[in-house]
Amino acid sequence: MIRQNDPQHLVHMLVSGKICLNARSDTGWVLTLDEIEPGQSFGLSALFGKSSTTYTAVCTEPCDIIVLSSDLMANCLKRITESICGDAPGGPAV
């Protein structure tokens, strides 16, 4: 699904199933960093610019996942913020 050190440009939202986020250490040990359950997201660092993943994502059972590009997700968050706060940088339009 996602391999450690791959470019990160997608945000993932788990609908059903289970995903483990693992990382391989310099000595070769595989460490489980997190277990993602339905309703949780991962890959959010893609929203903050170009980066690479620090983990490998492994589906440990059949999964349904919503995948959005970081550009689309950032645009959605911007539109939500504007609808709540208004277009003015200081807050809601009066």
* pLDDT tens column, 12-32: 999 999 999 999 999 999 999
Radius of gyration of the chain (CA): 16
- Other C-beta atoms closer than 10 Å to the C-beta of 31 total 10
CATH superfamily for 7-83 is: Jelly Rolls (2.60.120.10)
pLDDT digits (tens, 9 = 90+) for 49-71: 778 888 999 999 999 999 988 88
Whole-structure pTM over 0.85, yes or no? no
Residue in 77, 14, 19, 15 with CA at minimum distance from that of residue 48? 77
